[in-house]
């Protein structure tokens, strides 16, 4: 692989020699402003060696929340009180005095509802559907606090987790100053932000500002800077950088933006936003298979690490790539900063797309032939080496928990797409007992069925894992199998799982109750939002239609399908808190639970409710075709070819 990188560098320097690659800043007049900061000490994509702080960074055991998270939570929980009261007041559960109850519960915090949101993977489909949900839940967006809305739920939430495409969404919000989805959706003049009309596989362009060739040359140069600084690079570097042009509204896609810089942000440090978390899976040395036994890694603004009984430790994310050994940096050792590039991290969690990127770079029009060939060569070598992963070198967990940690003796930590273990909804960070989350809004845009609709398999995968040796104290309510799921139509409407706490028998009486899961599957409310995962570009109409569809799913069409829906969401939010305070459930909530809770019934058979035509699940519009376009049918040959290629790649794993 080194030969190819050298070739690429040689090529690059030949380009730069004749024609310096300089892309004018395109961050002009837009209301979007950066949040995560250009914090890498190098000022570029390259990490840099820096003196260690007085108290040297070290790895900690996963036997508690980090002190930084605990301190942050004290502020956040308090900050959720007012938005929660407002949200509950608007939802107006009959016979429930929300203000009196929440004020009382806030005193001890323990009884205050603790809300988490999980946005699944599924490429741009997941990003757009998830965006629709976040938009509906965000009280800053006009209309969301009107009758039928659920605005304010986001402001009342503690945690916001994203996986793969859902991780792109979460990252983009924090990279852009917690800008509301609505602003990002509208984009900016001379900016690529959320311009999903352009395929990054082809290379992005802003007419008159930069073209695809320059975009890719820019990316190649950024990655080369990391390599030149002495750090390993992998295809994930290229992938993450390419995505950045659409997700980070800063010149050159903000090469020096880091994940840890979110922690320094004014609003985040004052706990005015939820706590963002991304997930990835470890590919254990010498293995290719990702299974429920694979160790799951979490990224948050303070740390990277794992709660699993294998690695069971966390490193300070700001100092990633420092030479930790046995949890410590040797006394003579220096520290590294800037390795935790935001783009490398959201690229890591979505490395599934590496193969598609690799294969498609060869198709970029106008790239110099030698660059195309070089890229092709790199791809071949990468595939051959099974190097499609994000390599974290040095491995922070070297010599850590030797008895159980599968990477205790490897110099690199290999991480891959968080959905490859089938747990495509990032529930794992939210079901950690230390976090004591009461209710999870699980937005599922998985492509489980032939036509890219979910069938609940992500929930089942996580449930199975909680029951395995990897569970380590995590709990998730029972979820029925795929046949039952489809025949009951649970993938076509919101469903609550784990409503009845009396159905849980906790072996440890001190254990936290499993959360109630509000499952919100991608379904066609007003738009056919079932794009295949690898569809690389979308029409403006489809982008707007898919986001609005997610909004309509979150609000049940602003209450069109059920005028009690906002109250039912509020009932789900309150459920665990009422159980803790032994408060009687209001009658209106009892009827919500009757309607939305899965009651344990398993109807076996091919009675696919919303199907209408054959055994394969092919749902019809739940409200109306709001798109007035045949856009969805446009997904034609090239997407199928891409799918075949990617499936072939997955099989090759
Ligand atoms: C981020 O947005 C807030 C408003 O929510 C604003 O006060 C602040 O100045 C913005 N930060 C930057 C860096 O633009
Ligand atoms: C996971 O590990 C357990 C115990 O080591 C083993 O029995 C099981 O077969 C493994 N499962 C998978 C899917 O690898
Ligand atoms: C989780 O795993 C760690 C490390 O193996 C162990 O010490 C701890 O007791 C486990 N926690 C639970 C709740 O099982
Ligand atoms: C970490 O260790 C490697 C290998 O020994 C060495 O090349 C590198 O300079 C070290 N980095 C730091 C920051 O000490
Ligand atoms: C890559 O892009 C080309 C055209 O740009 C397309 O024909 C092809 O299907 C895409 N996918 C792969 C895996 O090559
Ligand atoms: C753990 O493993 C590392 C690397 O294999 C080794 O250097 C170290 O001595 C081991 N530590 C313990 C406590 O066994
Ligand atoms: C449900 O989804 C999984 C993939 O996640 C798939 O293997 C299974 O066949 C699906 N079941 C049905 C009935 O569609
Ligand atoms: C719900 O309200 C939003 C604006 O707040 C609107 O864009 C959308 O079309 C409405 N949905 C339905 C189904 O009327
Ligand atoms: C449970 O749900 C099924 C299907 O939704 C319904 O037919 C049945 O009556 C429910 N059972 C109870 C006890 O409510
Ligand atoms: C209650 O728990 C049992 C045993 O785990 C499970 O089989 C059943 O499906 C659960 N019922 C509900 C409604 O979650
Ligand atoms: C989307 O779903 C509809 C039916 O629900 C189906 O007819 C269509 O082919 C699907 N589109 C894709 C891209 O799978």
pLDDT in tens, 202-221: 666 666 556 666 777 788 88
Tokens of 220: 């190649």
CA angle 166, 464, 399 (to 5 degrees): 75
Residue with tokens 């199975």: 464
Residue partners of 71: CB distance under 8 A and separation at least 6: none
Cis upstream peptide for 146 (omega within 30°): no
Rounded Cα distance, 222 and 42, in Å: 12
Distance 408 CA to ligand 6 centre (A): 8
In this structure, the chain runs to a length of 653
Q: Is the CB of 399 under 6 A from ligand 6?
A: yes
**pLDDT tier for residue 374 given thresholds of 50, 70 and 90:** low
What does CATH list as the number for 2-20+76-652? 3.40.1090.10
- Provide the 8-state DSSP code for 100: H
> Which mutation among 642, 643, 651, 652 tests ligand 5's pocket best, with the greatest number of atoms within 8 A of CB?
642
Q: Cα separation of 171 and 262, whole Å?
A: 10
From the CA of 396, the nearest ligand is 4
Reported confidence tier of residue 234, pLDDT bands at 50, 70, 90: confident
- Beta 413-417 vs 335-337: how paired, if at all? unpaired
What are 476-492's pLDDT values in tens digits? 999 999 999 999 999 99
- State the DSSP H helix or E strand holding residue 182, giving kind and residue range, or none if neither: helix 181-186
pLDDT category, 367, cuts 50, 70, 90? Answer: low
pLDDT surpasses 60 at 613: no
Is the CB of 428 within 6 Å of ligand 6?
no
Contacts by 368-371, CB closer than 8 A, 24 or more apart: 368/11, 368/15, 368/213, 370/11, 371/8, 371/11, 371/216, 371/217, 371/220
Q: Are 286 and 236 in contact (CB under 8 A)?
A: no
Q: How confident is the model at residue 138 (pLDDT cuts 50, 70, 90)?
A: very high
Closest ligand to C-alpha of residue 630 is: 11
Ligand nearest to the CA of 616: 7
What is the spatial distance between Cα 361 and Cα 179, in angstroms, rounded to a whole number?
31
In ligand 8, which atom is closest to the CA atom of 146? 5
For the chain, the average pLDDT equals 86
Give the dihedral of Cα atoms 316, 319, 320, 326; nearest 10 deg.
Answer: -70
Q: Summarize the confidence of residues 540-559 as an average pLDDT.
A: 98
Ligand 11: list residues with CB < 6 Å.
451-452, 528, 530-532, 618-619, 632, 635
pLDDT 10s digits, 500-513 = 999 998 777 777 89
User: What's the rounded mean pLDDT across residues 162-173?
Assistant: 97
Reported as a pLDDT band with limits 50, 70 and 90, residue 387 is low
How much is the pLDDT for 369?
A: 60
The finding on whether 333 has its CB within 6 A of some atom of ligand 4 is yes
Cα gap 230→49, rounded to integer Å: 10
Q: What is the DSSP string of 272-337?
A: -S-EEEEEEEE--TT-----TTSPEEEE-SSEEEE-STTT-EEEEGGGTTS--BTTB--TT--EEE
Q: Report CA(328)–ligand 4 centroid distance (Å).
A: 14
Atom 11, ligand 10: residue with shortest CA distance: 600
Closest ligand 3 atom, residue 471 Cα: 14
Task: Verify whether ligand 4 is closer than 6 Å to residue 323 (CB atom).
Answer: yes
Q: Give the confidence band of 527 by pLDDT, cuts at 50, 70, 90.
A: very high
Please tell me the distance between residue 422's alpha carbon and the centre of ligand 3 in angstroms. 23
Instruction: Judge if the beta carbon of residue 601 lies within 6 A of ligand 9.
Output: yes
pLDDT of residue 17: 28
> Which atom belonging to ligand 11 lies closest to the Cα atom of 639?
13
Please determine, for residue 451, whether its predicted confidence score (pLDDT) is greater than 90.
Answer: yes
Residues 6+ apart with CB under 8 A from 45: 222, 223, 225, 226, 237, 241, 255, 256, 341
Ligand 11 centroid–CA 637 distance in Å is 14
- Residue 383 predicted with pLDDT over 80: no
Query: Residue 525 half-sphere exposure, CB side, CA atoms within 13 Å?
Result: 25
Q: Does the structure show a pLDDT above 50 at 65?
A: yes
What pLDDT was estimated at residue 375?
65
What share of the chain has pLDDT > 90, as a percent? 69
Residues 6 or more apart whose CB falls under 8 angstroms from that of 67 comprise none
- Mean pLDDT of the region 48-65: 97
- Structure confidence at residue 4 (pLDDT): 32
Q: How confident is the model at residue 380 (pLDDT cuts 50, 70, 90)?
A: low
- 75 Cβ inside 6 Å of ligand 4: no
Contact 93, 586 (CB under 8 A): yes
| Residue spans per domain, the chain | 2-20+76-652
**Cα–ligand 7 centroid distance for 159 (angstroms):** 29
Q: State residue 112's pLDDT score.
A: 97
Distance, CA of 83 to CA of 171 (rounded, Å) = 23
Q: What is the pLDDT of residues 72-116, one digit of tens each?
A: 999 999 999 999 999 999 999 999 999 999 999 999 899 999 999
Check residues 357 and 499 and name the one with the higher pLDDT: 499
What pLDDT, in 10s, does the model give residues 323-356?
999 999 999 899 999 999 999 999 997 777 766 6
pLDDT value for 289:
80
Close Cβ partners of 642 (under 8 Å, ≥ 6 residues apart): 356, 360, 532, 534, 535, 536
Question: Whose CA is closest to atom 7 on ligand 7?
Answer: 448
pLDDT at residue 285, as a whole number:
80
Q: What confidence score (pLDDT) does residue 510 get? A: 72
**Structure tokens of 549?**
């569809």
CB-based pocket (< 6 A), ligand 5: 201-202, 356, 359-360, 363, 638, 641-642, 645
Q: Whose CA is nearest to atom 2 of ligand 3?
A: 309
Tell me the average pLDDT across 277-303. Answer: 92
Specify the higher pLDDT residue, 379 or 436: 436
Rounded to whole angstroms, the Cα distance separating 98 from 67 reads 31
Q: Report the percentage of the chain scoring pLDDT > 70.
A: 81
């Amino acid at each position: 692989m080194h030969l190819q990188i050298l070739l690429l560098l040689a090529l690059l320097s030949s380009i730069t020699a004749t024609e310096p690659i300089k892309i004018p800043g395109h961050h002009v007049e837009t209301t979007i402003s950066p949040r995560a900061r250009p914090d890498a000490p190098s000022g570029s994509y390259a990490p840099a060696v820096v003196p260690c702080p007085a108290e040297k960074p070290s790895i900690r055991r996963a036997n508690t929340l980090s002190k930084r998270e605990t301190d942050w939570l004290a502020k956040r929980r308090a900050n959720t009180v007012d938005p929660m009261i407002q949200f509950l007041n608007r939802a107006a559960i009959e016979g429930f005095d929300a203000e009196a109850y929440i004020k009382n519960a806030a005193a001890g915090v323990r009884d205050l509802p603790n809300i988490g949101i999980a946005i699944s993977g599924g490429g741009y489909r997941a990003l757009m559907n998830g965006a629709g949900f976040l938009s509906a839940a965000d009280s800053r967006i006009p209309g969301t606090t009107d009758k039928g809305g659920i605005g304010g739920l986001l402001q009342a939430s503690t945690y916001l987790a994203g996986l793969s495409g859902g991780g792109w969404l979460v990252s983009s919000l924090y990279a852009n100053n917690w800008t509301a989805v609505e602003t990002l959706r509208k984009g900016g003049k001379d900016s690529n932000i959320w311009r999903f009309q352009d395929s990054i596989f082809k290379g992005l362009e802003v007419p008159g500002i930069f073209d695809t060739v320059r975009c890719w040359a820019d990316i190649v140069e950024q990655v080369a800077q990391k390599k030149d600084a002495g750090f390993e690079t992998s295809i994930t570097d290229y992938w993450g950088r390419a995505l950045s042009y659409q997700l980070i509204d800063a010149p050159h896609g903000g090469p020096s933006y880091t994940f840890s810089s979110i922690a320094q942000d004014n609003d985040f440090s004052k706990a005015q936003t939820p706590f963002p978390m991304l997930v990835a899976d470890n590919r254990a040395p010498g293995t290719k298979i990702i299974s429920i036994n694979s160790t799951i890694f979490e990224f948050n603004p303070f740390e990277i690490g794992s709660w699993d009984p294998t690695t069971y430790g966390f490193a300070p994310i700001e100092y990633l790539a420092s030479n930790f050994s046995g949890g410590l940096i040797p006394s003579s050792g220096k520290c590294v900063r800037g390795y935790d590039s935001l783009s490398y991290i959201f690229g890591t969690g979505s490395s599934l797309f590496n193969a598609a990127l690799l294969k498609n770079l060869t198709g970029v029009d106008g790239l110099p032939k030698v660059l195309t060939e070089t890229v092709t060569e790199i791809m071949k070598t990468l595939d051959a080496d099974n190097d499609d992963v994000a390599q974290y070198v040095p491995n922070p967990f070297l010599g850590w928990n030797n008895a159980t940690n599968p990477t205790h003796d490897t110099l690199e930590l290999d991480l891959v797409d968080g959905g490859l273990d089938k747990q495509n909804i990032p529930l794992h960070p939210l079901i950690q007992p230390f976090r004591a989350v009461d209710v999870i809004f699980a937005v599922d845009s998985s492509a489980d069925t032939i036509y890219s609709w979910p069938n609940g398999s992500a929930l089942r995968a996580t449930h199975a894992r909680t029951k395995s040796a990897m569970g380590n104290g995590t709990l998730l309510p029972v979820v029925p199998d795929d046949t039952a799921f489809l025949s009951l139509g649970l993938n076509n409407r919101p469903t609550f799982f784990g409503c009845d706490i009396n159905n849980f028998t906790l072996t440890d009486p001190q254990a936290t109750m499993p959360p109630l899961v509000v499952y919100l599957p991608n379904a066609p409310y007003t738009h056919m939002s079932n794009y295949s995962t690898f569809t690389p570009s979308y029409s403006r109409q489809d982008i707007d239609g898919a986001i609005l569809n997610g909004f309509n799913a979150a609000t049940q069409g602003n209450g069109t399908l059920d005028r009690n829906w906002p109250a039912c969401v509020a009932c789900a939010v309150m459920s665990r808190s009422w159980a803790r305070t032994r408060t009687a459930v209001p009658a209106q909530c009892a009827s919500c639970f009757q309607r939305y809770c899965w009651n344990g019934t398993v109807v076996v058979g091919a009675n696919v409710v919303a199907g209408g035509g054959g055994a394969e699940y092919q749902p019809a519009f739940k409200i109306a075709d709001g798109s007035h376009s045949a856009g969805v049918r446009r997904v034609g040959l090239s997407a199928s070819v891409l799918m075949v290629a990617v499936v072939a790649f997955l099989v090759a794993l």
